Structure 1
Amino acid sequence: MLQSYYFRPLVYYVGFGAAAIFILSYFLPVLFPLGVAGLICLSIAILVDSFLLYGKKQGLLAARHLQERFSNGDENKVQIHLENNYGFSLRCRVIDELPFQLQERSWERYVEVNRDATQDVLYSVTPNERGEYHFGDIQVFVSSPLGIICRKYSFPSGTTVKVYPSFFQMRRYQLLSAANRLQEAGVKRTRRLGHSLEFEQIKEYVRGDDYRTINWKATARRDGLMVNNFTDERSQQIYCVINKGRIMKMPFEGLTLLDYAINASLVLSNVALMRQDKAGLITYAEKLDTFLPADKKASQLNLILESLYKQTTNFLEPDLEKLFAAIRNRITQRSLLVLFTNYESMESLHRDLPSLKRIAHYHLLLIVFFENTELQQLITSEANNTEDIYIKTIAEKYNHEKRLMVKELQMNGISAVLTQPQNLTINAINKYLELKNRQSI
C-alpha cells in the first residue's frame, strides 16, 4: 500500500500554512488553536480520502490495445482503455511506458473518468526504424474529488510489436492499382506504344477506341463494330535490388535512404503482383545478403515483407562484382532489375559503371538514386557574403553533377531515375509502368 500512496500538492500547501501559523503564534498566541484545527481537518480529510481510494481492491482497470504490427514511417494508433469501478469520478494521470526507440521521455495524459464508466485514451506513434518495439507497463495515478491523496495503479502490459516496412503505403497503392486508378496518387499516364503481345478479349467498339484494332470477322458476325482488346504482358520478372552499403545510411526526415528504398520496394512488388507479374528481391552490400526468386504465388508478398523487415545498413562498400555473379547465375530469364542505390559523385559512379553495364547486357536495368535535398535548400537560399556565394556555387556544382550521372547512365544504355526521397515510391511506379507500356522488358 505504501508504495502506491502519494500525497497531492494540497496536503503540502496546508501543512506549510499550518507551520507558518505556528510560527506566528509565538508572537500571537491566539493563532495557535487555528493551526491545530487546520492540522486536525487535514488529517481527517486524508483518512476519508484514503478510505475512498483504498476501499476497493481494484477500483480501476486499464488495458492497452494496439495492432499486431506497426508500419514504419506512418502514424500507428494506440488505445488505452480505462474502466472506473468506483462510485465517484476519478481524475487520472496516465503514463504509458513507450519503447526506447521512440525517445519519448515524458509521455503522460490527464483524463477524467465518470463513476462506473469507461474512458479511452487514444494516441499515435510514428516509428522511424524497423525492428521490435517493446511497450512496458501502464501507470495510472488516480485521485478522488477531494484531491487530497492519489493512488498509483500499475498494470503489467508488456507487449512487443514488430515494425515492418510501410504496409500502409502498400495498401493504399494496392487499392488504387486494383481499381486502375494509380494516376490519382500522382502516377502519371504513359502513352502506349503499339500493342502488347497478349490478347485479352473482343469487345464492342466505343468512341475513342483505336480503329486499327477493329476485328472485321467479329464485326461481320455481330453486325456491329467489334475491336480486339490487348493487355500488358504478364508473368514478367521484376526484381527490386537494394544496396545496403554505407551510402544508404544517409538520413532524411527521420528515415534513412534504406528505409525509403525498402518502403518503395514493398509497394512496387505489390503493384507488380497485382498486375500478374512475378516479384523478387535482392539485397546486397559487401556480399549478397538476400535472394528471393521472382514468383507470383499468393504468399510471395509476405515473403518479401518478412525479408525486408530485418534489413539493416552497414558501413562497408558494396561489391557489384559479386552482385553481377549472383544475378548471372541465378536469374536465367530476362528481367527488370530496379536497383535502389545512391551516388554522390561522378567518380563513385564510374567505379561501378563497368559492373552495371555487364548487368544491363543481360537484363533491363533501372537505377534509382536520390537527390540531395539539403543541396536544394542551399541553392535556393540567399547569399549575403562571399562565403555564402562559395557554398552556393559548390552546391550547384554537386546538384548539376547528379543530372550528369543520369545522362551518363542513359548513354550506356541504362535507365535511371533521380528522385527526392519523399517521391521515391511514385517515381519508381511511374517508371515501371512506362517500361511495361513500352514493352521494354
Structure 2
Amino acid sequence: MKKLINLFYTNLFLTGRFFLALSACSVFFLFAFFFPWLGIIPELTFWLLVLLILVDALMLYRVRTAVFAKRHAPERLSNSDDNELGIYIENRYPFTISAGIIDEIPVQFQKRDVWFKTTLKAGEHKLISYSLRPVKRGEYEFGSIRVFARSPIGLLSRRHNFEQAETLPVYPSFLQMRKYELMAISNRLNEFGIKKIRRLGQSREFEQIKTYVAGDDPRSINWKASARHGTLMTNSYTDEKSQQVYCIIDKSRVMKMPFEGLSLLDYAINASLVLSNVALLKQDKAGLITVAEKTGSVLQADRKHAQINKILEVLYKEKTRYLETNMEALYSTIRNVVKQRSLLVFFTNYESLPALQRHLPFLKRIARHHLLLVVFFENTELKHVTEQPANDVESIYVKTIAEKFAYDKRLIVKELAANGIQSILSTPKNLTVTTINKYLELKARQKI
C-alpha cells in the first residue's frame, strides 16, 4: 500500500492551469475583505476547485496502463547524418488526453529540450518522428520514455514511465555510403558533383572476340580470327578490374582538429568508407591501413561482398592518437602488405611546409612502387579570416598570418607535384566528392 501511495505522489504533477485556478481563488478571498456582498462565493469557488482536482485525479488514475509508448530506433546510427527515430504512443483512456513526451536521449547530444506535445483521442495512436545527428563514433545510451498525460480538465498531470534503456552504436557514415552506392548503380553520381571523366585511350583488359559491326574501331579487328571464321571479327575490351585501392588513414594528433562538430579523422573515415564502396562497385579491390605513432589496423585489399562490412567494423573502432605519425612504420607496412602496384589514398593533414618535408622522404619512397594520392585539408576558418576586411593593426596582423598559412597549403601541393606525387587539397565538407572524382579520373586515365 505504501509503495502504491509513493508511486501515486511521485508520478503526480501540478499543471499551470492548477496554479491559475488557485490564484483566482486567492483573489476571490482577497476581494471578500473589501466587498462583503461576495458572501460565500470565494468558499464555493475553492471547494469547486477541490472537487475538480479529485475528479481529475480519478480520471487519470482509474486506468492502470492508460498510455503505451515505445521508441522506434534503427539498430545503429550513422555518424554525421540525420538519423530518423520515432516514438509510438497509444491512448487507452476513454477520453481525449493532452500528452507531453520526454525521450531520454544520450548525453553526447547535450540536448535537454527533447519534448514533444500531442493530443490523442480515445483509442488513438500516433508515431512522432524526430532526427538526431551524432558527430562522434561509439556507443550511445538511450534512457526511458516519460509521458505526461492530462485529462480535458487539465489541473493535474500523470507521468507514465516506460523503461526502454538501449545502447546503439554509431558507425561511420553508412547512410552517405548507401546514397552514393545507389547513385553509382543508377549512373547518377553527377547529381552529387561527381564529374564524368572522358576515357583516354583504350583499356588494356581483353574481354572477348565478337563479330564486327559498323561503328567498331577498325584497329581492334582480329585478322587471325577473321580468317578462321570467314567474317570480320574484332577484339572487345573492358575496363580493367581487380586493381587494388588502399585507404591509408592518419589518426595522429593532426587529425584531431574539428570542423562543424566533426574531427578531421571522422571526415577521412567517412570518405574512406564511400571510396572503398565505389571501388568495389567498379570491381576493384578495397583495402585499409591506419597509422599513428605505430601501425594500427591493416585490412588487405579484397573484392568480396563482405569486404565493405569488414571495413566498416574496423573504422568504427578507430580513435585519434596524440603523437606524431610514424612514417617509417607506415612504409614498412606498405612494403610487407601491398605486393602489387596499387592506388594508395593517404588521408592526413599538413599545416606547414616543414611538416611535409619531414614526411617527404618516405612519401617519395612509397611513390616509387605505387600510385600515391595524398589528401589533406583546407583550413576553412582561416579562409574566412582572409576574406574579411582588415580595419585595424591587429586585424591586419591576423589576416597576414592567415594568408601565410593558406599560401603554405598551396606550396605543399606544388612540392608534392614536383616529386611526382598526386595530391588533393579539399575542404572537409567536399572531401568525399573530391576524392571520388580523383579516383575516377586516375582510373579513366589508366594511372593505376
Q: TM-score, normalised by structure 1?
A: 0.94
Q: 2:187 aligns with which of 159, 167, 180?
A: 180
Q: 1:405 aligns with which of 407, 412, 418?
A: 412
Which whole-Å CA distance do the structure 1 matches of 2:281 and 2:235 have between them?
23
Which deviates more, 400-409 or 386-395?
A: 386-395
CA offset digits 1:249-304 (Å, max 9, x no partner): 11111111111100000001001111111111111100111001111112111000
Specify the alignment match of 2:265 in structure 1: 258
Which whole-Å CA distance do the structure 2 matches of 1:194 and 1:129 have between them?
44
Quote the offset at 1:20 in angstroms: 3.0
2:356 alignment partner AA: L
C-alpha contact (below 8 Å) 2:104/2:143 kept by paired residues: yes
Specify the alignment match of 1:160 in structure 2: 167
Counting only pairs closer than 5 Å after superposition, residues 288-303 of structure 1 correspond to structure 2 as 288-303=295-310
Which deviates more, 154-163 or 373-382?
A: 373-382
Counting only pairs closer than 5 Å after superposition, residues 202-213 of structure 1 correspond to structure 2 as 202=210, 205=213, 210=217, 212-213=219-220
C-alpha contact (below 8 Å) 1:74/1:127 kept by paired residues: yes
Q: 2:240 aligns with which of 233, 245, 251?
A: 233
Specify the alignment match of 1:34 in structure 2: 41
Specify the alignment match of 2:3 in structure 1: none
Which deviates more, 111-120 or 192-201?
A: 192-201
C-alpha contact (below 8 Å) 2:18/2:154 kept by paired residues: no
Specify the alignment match of 1:75 in structure 2: 82
Quote the offset at 1:81 in angstroms: 0.6
2:277 alignment partner AA: N
Gaps of 5+ in 1: none
C-alpha contact (below 8 Å) 2:371/2:447 kept by paired residues: yes
Quote the offset at 1:227 in angstroms: 5.6
Which whole-Å CA distance do the structure 2 matches of 1:203 and 1:37 have between them?
103
Counting only pairs closer than 5 Å after superposition, residues 128-167 of structure 1 correspond to structure 2 as 128-167=135-174
Quote the offset at 1:30 in angstroms: 3.7
Which deviates more, 58-67 or 217-226?
A: 217-226
Gaps of 5+ in 2: 1-7
Specify the alignment match of 1:21 in structure 2: 28
CA offset digits 1:205-224 (Å, max 9, x no partner): 576x6554456778899999
Q: 2:133 aligns with which of 126, 130, 143?
A: 126
Specify the alignment match of 2:437 in structure 1: 430
Are the structure 2 counterparts of residues 211 and 407 from structure 1 closer, same or farther at C-alpha, using a change threshold of 3 Å? farther
Which whole-Å CA distance do the structure 2 matches of 1:432 and 1:426 have between them?
10
Which whole-Å CA distance do the structure 2 matches of 1:135 and 1:203 have between them?
64
Q: 1:346 aligns with which of 343, 350, 353?
A: 353
CA offset digits 1:14-73 (Å, max 9, x no partner): 222323332333344443511110111011111111111111111110011011111111
Which whole-Å CA distance do the structure 1 matches of 2:110 and 2:211 have between them?
59
Q: 1:246 aligns with which of 237, 240, 253?
A: 253
1:361 alignment partner AA: R
CA offset digits 1:103-156 (Å, max 9, x no partner): 101210111111111111111011111111111100110101111211110111
Instruction: Give me the identity figure in percent.
Output: 51
2:14 alignment partner AA: F
Which deviates more, 146-155 or 14-23?
A: 14-23
Specify the alignment match of 1:6 in structure 2: 13
C-alpha contact (below 8 Å) 2:200/2:445 kept by paired residues: yes
Does the residue aligned with 1:81 lie in a helix, a strand or coil? strand
Are the structure 2 counterparts of residues 254 and 227 from structure 1 closer, same or farther at C-alpha, using a change threshold of 3 Å? farther
C-alpha contact (below 8 Å) 1:81/1:118 kept by paired residues: yes
Which whole-Å CA distance do the structure 2 matches of 1:355 and 1:155 have between them?
58
Specify the alignment match of 1:49 in structure 2: 56
2:204 alignment partner AA: L
Specify the alignment match of 2:378 in structure 1: 371
1:95 alignment partner AA: I
- What do you get for the CA RMSD once the two structures are aligned? 2.1
Which deviates more, 341-350 or 310-319?
A: 310-319
Specify the alignment match of 1:309 in structure 2: 316
- The alignment of Structure 1 onto Structure 2 pairs a total of residues equal to 440
Which whole-Å CA distance do the structure 1 matches of 2:211 and 2:124 have between them?
61
Quote the offset at 1:195 in angstroms: 1.8
2:274 alignment partner AA: V
Which whole-Å CA distance do the structure 2 matches of 1:8 and 1:412 have between them?
72
Does the residue aligned with 1:290 lie in a helix, a strand or coil? strand
Are the structure 2 counterparts of residues 81 and 221 from structure 1 closer, same or farther at C-alpha, using a change threshold of 3 Å? farther
Counting only pairs closer than 5 Å after superposition, residues 52-63 of structure 1 correspond to structure 2 as 52-63=59-70
Quote the offset at 1:174 in angstroms: 1.1
1:274 aligns with 2:270: no
Are the structure 2 counterparts of residues 386 and 29 from structure 1 closer, same or farther at C-alpha, using a change threshold of 3 Å? same
1:131 alignment partner AA: G
Does the residue aligned with 1:147 lie in a helix, a strand or coil? coil
Which whole-Å CA distance do the structure 2 matches of 1:172 and 1:228 have between them?
36
Specify the alignment match of 1:190 in structure 2: 197
Which whole-Å CA distance do the structure 1 matches of 2:119 and 2:233 have between them?
69
Does the residue aligned with 1:26 lie in a helix, a strand or coil? helix
Q: TM-score, normalised by structure 2?
A: 0.93
C-alpha contact (below 8 Å) 1:22/1:32 kept by paired residues: no
